[in-house]
Structures are given as structure tokens and as C-alpha cells.
A and B are shown apart, each in its own frame.
Chain A
Amino acid sequence: MSGIASKGPKPRRRRRRLSRREEARRRFLRATLVSVALLATWPLASVPVVRRLRIRLRPPGALQGEQRFLAACIKCGQCVQVCPVQAIALADLFDGYGHGAPYIDARAQACDFSCDALSCILACPTGALRHDLNAKEEVRIGTARLARPDACLARRGEGFRGLARGAGFRGRLRYEEIDRWTAQPVAEYAYDVDLCDLCVRECPIGESALRLEPDAAEGGARRMTPVVGEGCVGCGVCEMICPEEPACIAVDPSAAAEVPA
């Protein structure tokens, strides 16, 4: 091929020139197809929400009723930014409508209320996190439940010595005896207790939420059972601090109680 001939752009085959009318018809058709394709993602995005494939812990003050919460959330992430322990993350595409909405993975980092002021609620511009909550005791993220009673050290009458979650754990918790204001790495705080009571000891709410009761069946032996009370707000600190793997105590999200399984 000569150098001159190969220079210009060369369409492979000549396209049939469409009439103005035909071109307009095709433009309209393509537009219709694109709209249909975009709206067809609607049922697709509903699946995770309607089928409840991902039931998550939502930040404090989240509107009760998962559908309502997801409707009200504008997915900006301002709650993520203000959390001092970074307990809040944003969900990915597979959450359907929940995409971009905040959630808490309590085992990795629970909400320990170290902000004291419910900062996430104050940060929320839409009211997806209810502004009428004033104290941590009013929060209902979920409810703790003794998920693996047989593995619980207290119920087995055993103590605990060492790091609750190992040296590699990145979660933080406010230990009031160290610093009233700043959460400390859990991996830097060693425990030494004769009878494991980590969940009860670290519960930010206190006795109304979680307490140890003597195991009735054992008749006064040194065995205790963690009992969840009415005051539980579902912050997940018990789930985060439980030294057993997986955690013996876990928080059921409020959303899980909405519809019977």
C-alpha cells in the first residue's frame, strides 16, 4: 500500500444513508430502549431489600422500618465522617437500594458512644437518623442475644487473661479509666479476670442492658450467664469485645424483627 493512500481514515464499508425520518425513528427507539434498560434495574435493586438478603445494623437513630430508612437516606456519608471510632461504613452495590447507605459491622467496630453526643445523628442532613433522640439510652440499633451459650466463658466458669481480640484487631473502645474522651485500641488493653465478664464490663449502658446472673442450673457454682435486659440499645460493644471466635453474644438488627422470617 502506498503511503499516501493509507493516510486518511477509511471507513470499512459504506453505511446506507438513512432518511431523516428513519434516523429520527431510530433515535426514538434507542432512547426508549435505554430508558427501559435503566428502569429494569428497579426489580433487580429491590431483591436484596425485599428478600432481606442483607439485614444490617444501622447507625443510632436510624428510622425504624428498613424501607423508610433507605428512602430517607441521601447516601452522602456524613455520618461516616463524624464517627470518632469509625464504626460506620457505606454499603456497596449488592445492597440494592441500600447501596451507599450506612451500616455498622459491630464485630469489627461497635458503636461505643465515645462521641457522647450522637454525632452521626447530628450530621445527618435528611432525618434518616432521627434528630429527636437525645441520649444513647434512647437508641435502638438492635438487641443483643446470647448466640452461642455453650461457648460462653462465663457460663463455663472460666476466666480470661490477655487481649480480647488479639494483637491484630483494629477496633477501638473507650476505656473510661484510661481516657474519658478518647477511644483506645482494644489490641492495647490486656484483661485479667477470674471469671470472664468482658461483655458486661464494657457495656456502655450498664445493668439495665446486660448483667451477669448466677446460672440457676448449677446451683450456686461459679458459673454465670449474661442476661440481656430491656435497656439494651444494640450498640454491639459486647459482640465486639467477646474473646470467643465467633462471638458468643451478637446483636440482632432492629430491621430483623420487622418481618417474621
Chain B
Amino acid sequence: MSWLSDVGVMLGRAPRKPRAISDTAELFHGRKRGKGGVNITVLLEEIAGARKVHTWRNRRWAVLIGVNLLFTLSFWLDIQILEGSLTASRLLGFHLADPYSSLLVMLADRHVAVNLVIGTVTVLLFWGLVGGRSFCSWVCPYHLVAELSEKWHEWLARRGRVVDHTLHRGVRSVLWVLFALLALATGHTLFLTLNPIGILSRALVYGPSLALLWVLLLLLFEVFYAKRAWCRYVCPIGLTYGVIGAAAPVRVEYNLESCAHEGECRKVCEVPHVLEMTIKGRAAHARMDVGPDCTRCGLCVDICPTESLRFQVKGLDELL
């Protein structure tokens, strides 16, 4: 039930307070209200000088840059390991295809391309295991430039120059359907023309294009108007991967017992609605999985002063 409601939150529903809270969770909540010893103020003071680590961010950036470099070098040096770009490619000859782009092409052309189906299924199996939206933070080149320009937004925001204007998150689901309907009805794959991931990936492999100006425009919109707007409110590729990885065993797990509820995690998160349970009194269980919209970027894992958020592999940890 809670898993289904997590998917609902990904599609755009606002997170709600839990209807029922488990006994163990209630016990922990109670302790933090002062009825069992844990004094939140003391806990907060203890962690005030917590070290800042970037372990997961650094690993992630290394993977992201590595994958995109592999695309570039495969063509430039003709080493032919990963040929193509992020919309469709071959890894050592095996087809890989972006699921949403493939869907659009097949809808627009009204023809099932076998190679795209093969490529999509391969991609589905992989990201279905490691977490769909892991693609976003571990591979997508737009994610990296957006992450970097977000720092500029934060810098301006601290000085009161810009304000983050939030949008209704349901718009991403609506656009997902609209782009697909448009492809089916008119044969125009409009999204592929606008898609900054495709533009960046092609620019990295085949050289720069004027289309990069469109990417720049998107980034400026994010810096000066709505933080991380493309990834949060628009990207149908991200949503598709989110659905693919909705039951992925690799995920971030939340531990209520040790949490100090100071909210650092929600500040750094691209999709803070998945961390709603870290708000004081909200967690329904003592341990909870972070929802499917999570990109597994690890920023919260890095910043959490009490190590209450951790990467977990479901099933594997029980086995070991």
C-alpha cells in the first residue's frame, strides 16, 4: 500500500501524513518528544560540527563522467565499446535504447522496431535492478550541469536575489502523456527535438551544436526562476526510469531511530518529496525505503549527520 502511494507521489500527488504509525515507530517518535531520554537539542548540538563528506557524490561524478567519456572516446578513438548516444547505442554490439525515446519513435512511426525493443528490455532489466532514476544522477549529462548550476542558484538565493518558484509536480506526468499523444497523432517526436539529454550527449560525441543554446536557456530558467525545473517537473525520461525502478532492490533506507530531524537531507535533495518521512513525527515505520522518484544520488547519504540515510540492497543485506 505504501509502495503504491510512493508511486502516486512520484506521479505528482502531494505526500500525505501516514494514517497509521507502527508501534516501534511510535516508540521512537515518543522518545524524541522527550518521553524516553533522547533529547533532540542535545543530539543537534552533538552533530553541529559534523564533517562534510562527498563520498557518494564523488563516486557518482566519476561514473557519470566515465560513461559519457566512453561514448566520446568510442567514436573519437574508434575503440567501439559504447557506440551511439544516450537515446540509442550499442555496448560491445548489444543494443541499448532509451525507453521513452524508443516509445516515442515507435508511436510516431507506428511500427515496432525490434532492435529498439531489445535495447529497451536490456535497459529495463539493468535499471530495474539498480533503481530506475539512478540513470538520472549517475549517467545523465544534463543532471551534472543542472547540479552545478544549482550551486549558482543557491548562491544567489542566499543573497536574496532569486527565489525558487515551485511548480505542481503532476505536470511531468501530464507532459509524459502529451508528448506521447503528440507523437502518435502527428508523427512528430517533438520531445526528441527539445530533449537536452540527447542534445548534450550528441554534442559530447559529435561536436558542439547551436542546440546547446537551448540547454543554456533551460539552465538559466532553473537558476533564476525554478530550481532544477527540467529534472523535477518536465523530464519524461526521468519519469520513465522512475517507473522502471519502482521496485528496484537498490535504494536509500531511512532509519527513524537515529534521525535528528534537522532536515539537512531535504535541503540537498533534488526531489525532497521522497524524504517526507524525515520530518518529525511523519515516519510510519522504524525503517523506511525512500520512494521511487529518488535518483540515488547519495547527497542525503553524504550530508546526513547521524547516518540515518544509507544505501541498501534489498535481499542482499539479509542474505549476507
Do B170 and A68 touch (CB < 8 A)? no
Minimum CB distance partner of A65 in chain B: B187
Q: Are B190 and A74 in contact (CB under 8 A)?
A: no
> CB of A157 within 8 A of chain B?
no
Chain B CB within 8 A of A92 CB: yes
Please determine whether B105 and A126 come into contact, CB atoms closer than 8 angstroms: yes
Quick one: CB contact mask for A13-48 with B, threshold 8 Å, 1 for yes? 001000000001011101110110011011001100
Closest to A127 in B: B113
Give CA–CA (A37, B88) in the complex, Å.
Answer: 27
User: Is A94 interfacial (CB 8 A cutoff)?
Assistant: yes
Given the known interface contacts A35-B175, A77-B206, A100-B192, the answer about A126 and B168 at a Cβ–Cβ threshold of 8 Å is: no
The residue on A at minimum CB distance from B225 is A30
Query: A67: CB under 8 A from chain B?
Result: yes
**Do A31 and B116 have beta carbons less than 8 Å apart?**
no
Q: Does A11 contact B (CB under 8 A)?
A: yes
Instruction: Check A93–B188 contact: CB distance below 8 A.
Output: no
Residue of A nearest to B203 (CB): A90
Do A72 and B178 have beta carbons less than 8 Å apart?
no
B162-182 with Cβ < 8 A to chain A: 163, 165-171, 174-175, 178, 182
Q: Please tell me if the beta carbons of A71 and B89 are within 8 angstroms of each other in the complex.
A: no
Q: Tell whether A30 pairs with B190 under 8 Å between CB atoms, given A10-B160, A81-B84, A125-B116.
A: no
Residues of B within 8 A of A34 (CB): 167, 171, 226, 229, 233-234
Central interface residue in B168, B187, B205, B233, by most chain A CB within 10 Å: B168
* Chain A residues whose CB sits within 8 angstroms of the CB of B170 once the complex forms: 31
Q: A75-95: which have CB < 8 Å to B?
A: 75-78, 80-82, 89-90, 92-94
Q: Which residues of B, 58-109, contact A by the 8 Å Cβ criterion?
A: 74-75, 83-85, 87-90, 95, 97-98, 101-102, 105, 108-109
Render A214-245 as a binary contact track against B, CB cut-off 8 A, 1 for contact: 00000000000000000000000000000000
- A113: interface (CB < 8 Å): no
Tell me if B111 counts as interface (CB < 8 A to partner A).
Answer: yes
**Total contacts A to B, CB within 8 angstroms?**
156
Residues in A neighbouring B160, C-beta threshold 8 A: 9-12
Contact among A11, A28, A97 for B190, CB-based, below 8 A? A97
Contact of A76 among B84, B182, B209, B211 (CB under 8 A): B84
Q: How far is the CA of A99 from the CA of B213 in the complex (A)?
A: 13
Which residue from chain A places its CB closest to the CB of B212 in the assembled complex? A93
Residue on B with the closest CB to A37? B221
A interface bracket (residues with beta carbon within 8 Å of B): 35 or more
Residue A73 at the chain B interface, CB threshold 8 Å: yes
Instruction: State in angstroms the CA–CA spacing of A125 and B182 once bound together.
Output: 22
Report yes or no: A92 in contact with B115, Cβ–Cβ below 8 A. Answer: no
Tell me whether B22 is interfacial, beta carbon within 8 Å: no
Residue B192 contacts which of A15, A75, A78 (CB distance < 8 angstroms)?
A75
- Using CB atoms, name the residue of chain B closest to A93: B211
Task: Please name the residue on chain A nearest to B80 by beta carbon.
Answer: A81
On whether the beta carbons of A35 and B113 are closer than 8 Å, the reply is no
Closest to B74 in A: A81
Shortest Cβ gap from A156 to chain B (Å): 40
Question: Is B137 interfacial (CB-CB < 8 Å)?
Answer: no
- Select the residue from B97, B174, B193, B214 with max chain A CB neighbours within 10 A: B193
Is B148's CB within 8 Å of the partner chain A? no
Q: Which residues of the other chain, B, contact A45 by a CB distance below 8 angstroms? A: 188, 190, 193-194
Interchain CB contact under 8 A, A93 and B105: no
Name the distance in Å between B112's Cβ and chain A's nearest Cβ. 9
A96 within 8 A of B: yes
Residue B189 CB within 8 A of the other chain: yes
Kindly list chain A residues whose C-beta atoms are within 8 Å of the C-beta of B202.
75, 77, 90, 100
Q: Which residues of A contact B (CB under 8 A)?
A: 9-12, 15, 24, 26-28, 30-32, 34-35, 38-39, 41-42, 45-46, 67-68, 70-78, 80-82, 89-90, 92-94, 96-97, 99-100, 123, 125-128
